[in-house]
Amino acid sequence: MRAQSPLIISLPERQSSPQHAIFGALTLTIWVLWVYLWLPLITAILWMVGIRWAYIQIFQGTRGVSLWVILWILLSAIIVVASWSNYNNIRYAKKTQRRRAQAVYKTAIREKFGITSPTLALLLRERRLNLYFSDSEQLIHVDALTDAPFQPTALPQLSLHSVVME
């Protein structure tokens, strides 16, 4: 493609957005009017290629499907989504209903899981732990692993770091 002459000034991006949109829309309208003048010829050609028949099939629905219904669903989806989204934005965007998410203290978490303070300290501090559970899903025993390699089938070994649940 040949480069445009440097003498030509073409900087459409320097127009404002509304200016750009208005001129574009007006030009498109004039094109539509221009096509309108050709309507008799277009009608004759479409009649010859059977477009009328296709229009009846699609828009009036011989098997219950009408494109109008689908267009209505699409329009409804756009209206519902856009208005709901804007409503939420206006109502909630700058409001904080939970002013501060309250922190939960570790003691409350400990109580929820039914464990003792030393066990919690072990869980928070140690890097490798074995955890044992009762059949009722209660944590019953925690074992801190030190240098001994992990044995998946090993029974709990009580060590200095072990805590038996009460």
Partner 1 sequence: MIRSLMLAYSFYYPLTMSLFWIVGGIAYFLRWERKTAKHTDPPKLTRWPKATLVVPCHNEGSQVRETLEYAANQDYPDFEIIAIDDGSADDTGRILDELTGVYPQLRVLHFPRNQGKAMGLRMAALAANSDFLICIDGDALLDRYATRWLMWHLVTGPRVGAVTGNPRIRNRSTLLGRLQVGEFSSIIGLIKRAQRIYGRIFTVSGVIAGFRISALHHVGYWNTDMVTEDIDVSWRLQMDFWDIRYEPNALCWILMPETLRGLWKQRLRWAQGGVEVAGRYMGLMWKWHRRRMWLVLIEFSLSVLWSYVMLAVLLLSLCGLVIALPPALHMPGPMPGWYGVILSALCIVQFVVSLVIDRRYEEQIGRQFFWIIWYPLVFWMIGMMTTVVALPKVLAKGARTRAVWESPDRGIQ
Q: Which residues bind partner 1 (CB under 8 A)?
A: 57-58, 61-65, 67, 70, 73-74, 77-78, 80-82, 84-85, 88-89, 96-104, 108-110, 112-113, 115, 120, 123-124, 126-133, 137, 139, 145, 149-150, 152-154
Length of the chain, in residues: 166
Give least dist CB 43 to partner 1, A.
24
Q: How many whole angstroms separate alpha carbon 119 and alpha carbon 86?
A: 50
Nearer to partner 1, 26 or 121 (CB): 121
Question: DSSP 3-state assignment of 163?
Answer: strand
Q: How many whole angstroms separate alpha carbon 120 and alpha carbon 127?
A: 13
Give least dist CB 16 to partner 1, A.
21
Give least dist CB 49 to partner 1, A.
18
Q: How many whole angstroms separate alpha carbon 35 and alpha carbon 5?
A: 33
Give least dist CB 57 to partner 1, A.
7
Give least dist CB 86 to partner 1, A.
9
Nearer to partner 1, 35 or 109 (CB): 109
Q: How many whole angstroms separate alpha carbon 141 and alpha carbon 71?
A: 63
Q: 13-37: b or e for each residue (b if 16 or more CB lie within 10 Å)?
A: eeeeeeeeeeeeeeeeeeeeeeeee
Nearer to partner 1, 14 or 112 (CB): 112
Amino acid at 45: I
Nearer to partner 1, 41 or 104 (CB): 104
